[in-house]
């Protein structure tokens, strides 16, 4: 059970979580709509209330102290409960059709829990899920064909400030039963041209001077995994969504490092979109790497 000291405002915890995740008071202030000095005062107030230092400034920005790490985990859970209670009693009844875009790469990983929670809170709303590559989703969003969309940051958002949700490394993946990563040119199994993951993979190989060929392509991650499981090439993806029979490949296998992937959110104004966005934020909030970088 979470014990909260008297007078500990959830707004203090919300600002602390944003600062700890983003490593910056400035970015946190932009997210909560306050000045930088106001958020700094909130952090000092929180440390005074708890009697412990919570943040340390280092070469990469602000990082949580051991007490801050302990608080961060519990603050995320408390805020998720707080937002759920508030939304249930204060959010107007949402109905109608909401168009949600999400890349296939992580739809199965995060959407089931998010959509289940949204349906429970807003049973009269209907959500249409559109699974396309990030570049296509951004085009649809720009045309007004989607109300809200998730996308892999690295694709250019169409003139709108995106909201960072999650950050984590891309990883090379190959079949566990066959060392195809030793073949030259390296057989790649990736999505279509324009995919941010494909661009990251080929750029990393080019920088390392490693010859490669596009052996297979697929419009979905399920398709690329099927080809990898057949022992016909290597692909890239998130380690949290790796099927059995596929193993991670790293620098110890001779593979070049891949960049960090950012998952971000874009939303057109509207009560329905904001209600769904609240559930999406809550769904990502408990994940390691949530909101780690600005999109």
Interval 80-137: pLDDT, tens: 888 777 766 665 677 889 999 998 877 888 899 899 989 988 888 999 999 888 888 9
Last residue of a domain, one of 62, 89, 116: 89
Answer yes or no: do 189 and 253 share one domain: yes
Which residues neighbour 271 within 8 Å (Cβ) at sequence distance 6 or greater?
91, 92, 94
Question: Does residue 50 fall inside a structural domain?
Answer: yes
Question: Does residue 242 fall inside a structural domain?
Answer: yes
Answer yes or no: do 143 and 82 share one domain: no
Question: Does residue 1 fall inside a structural domain?
Answer: no
Answer yes or no: do 250 and 110 share one domain: no
Answer yes or no: do 234 and 279 share one domain: no
Q: Is the pLDDT of residue 175 over 90?
A: yes
Please tell me the pTM assigned to this model: 0.62
Answer yes or no: do 126 and 270 share one domain: yes
Answer yes or no: do 147 and 187 share one domain: no
Question: Does residue 96 fall inside a structural domain?
Answer: yes
Helix H, strand E, coil C: the string for the chain is CCCCCCCCCHHHHHHHHHHHHHCCHHHHHHHHCCCHHHHHHHHHHHHHHHCCCCEEEECCEEEECHHHHHHHHHHHHHHHHHHHHHHHHHCCCCCEEEEEECCHHHHHHHHHHHHHHHHHHCCCEEEEEECCCHHHHHHHHHCCCCCEEEEEECECCCCCCCEEEEEEECEEEEECCCCHHHCCCEEEEECCCCCHHHHHHHHHHHHHCCCEEEEEECCCHHHHHHHHHCCCCEEEECHHHCCCCEEEECHHHCCCCCCEEEEEEEECCCHHHHHHHHHHHHHHHCCCCECCCCC
pLDDT score for 156 = 46
Q: Give the residue numbers spanning the domain of 35.
A: 10-89
Question: Does residue 294 fall inside a structural domain?
Answer: no
Question: Does residue 266 fall inside a structural domain?
Answer: yes
Give residue 157's pLDDT band: very low, low, confident or very high (50, 70, 90).
very low
Digit-coded pLDDT (tens) for 5-46: 556 788 899 999 999 888 888 888 887 778 889 999 999 999
Number of neighbours of residue 45 by Cβ within 10 angstroms: 15
Answer yes or no: do 162 and 267 share one domain: yes
Digit-coded pLDDT (tens) for 47-71: 999 999 999 988 878 899 999 999 9
Digit-coded pLDDT (tens) for 211-252: 999 999 887 788 899 999 999 999 998 877 788 899 999 999
**CA pair distance 133, 195, nearest whole angstrom:** 7
Q: Mean pLDDT score of the chain, rounded to an integer? A: 85
Answer yes or no: do 182 and 213 share one domain: yes
Q: What CATH number corresponds to the domain at position 210?
A: 3.40.190.10
Structural domain count, the chain: 3
Question: Does residue 290 fall inside a structural domain?
Answer: no
Answer yes or no: do 162 and 273 share one domain: yes
Q: What CATH number corresponds to the domain at position 74?
A: 1.10.10.10
Question: Does residue 293 fall inside a structural domain?
Answer: no
Last residue of a domain, one of 70, 89, 108: 89
Category of 23 on φ-ψ map: left (φ > 0), alpha (ψ -120 to 50) or beta: left
Last residue of a domain, one of 89, 112, 138: 89
Q: Is the pLDDT of residue 286 over 70?
A: no
Answer yes or no: do 79 and 126 share one domain: no
Answer yes or no: do 281 and 160 share one domain: yes
Answer yes or no: do 136 and 211 share one domain: no
């Amino acid at each position: 059970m979470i014990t909260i000291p008297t007078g500990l405002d959830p707004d203090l915890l919300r600002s602390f979580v944003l600062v700890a995740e983003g490593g910056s008071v400035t970015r946190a202030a932009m997210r909560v709509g306050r000045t930088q000095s106001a958020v700094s005062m909130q952090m000092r107030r929180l440390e005074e209330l708890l009697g412990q230092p919570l943040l340390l400034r280092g070469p990469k920005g602000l990082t949580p102290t051991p007490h801050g790490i302990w608080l961060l985990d519990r603050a995320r859970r408390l805020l998720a409960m707080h937002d759920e209670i508030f939304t249930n009693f204060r959010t107007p009844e949402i109905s109608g059709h909401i168009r949600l875009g999400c890349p296939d790469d992580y739809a199965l990983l995060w959407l089931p829990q998010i959509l289940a929670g949204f349906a429970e809170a807003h049973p009269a709303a209907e959500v249409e899920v559109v699974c396309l590559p990030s570049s296509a989703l951004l085009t649809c969003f720009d045309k007004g064909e989607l109300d809200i969309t998730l996308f892999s940051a690295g694709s250019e958002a169409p003139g709108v400030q995106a909201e960072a949700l999650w950050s984590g490394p891309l990883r090379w993946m190959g079949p566990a039963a066959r060392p195809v990563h030793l073949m030259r040119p390296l057989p790649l199994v990736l999505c279509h041209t324009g995919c941010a993951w494909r661009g990251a993979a080929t750029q990393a190989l080019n920088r390392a001077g490693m010859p490669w060929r596009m052996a297979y392509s697929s419009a979905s991650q399920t398709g690329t995994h099927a080809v990898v499981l057949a022992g016909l090439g290597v692909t890239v993806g998130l380690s949290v969504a790796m099927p059995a029979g596929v193993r991670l490949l790293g620098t110890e296998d001779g593979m070049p490092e891949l960049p960090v992937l950012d998952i971000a959110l874009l939303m057109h104004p509207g009560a329905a979109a904001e209600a769904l966005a609240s559930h999406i934020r809550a769904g990502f909030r408990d994940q390691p790497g949530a909101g780690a970088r600005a999109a």
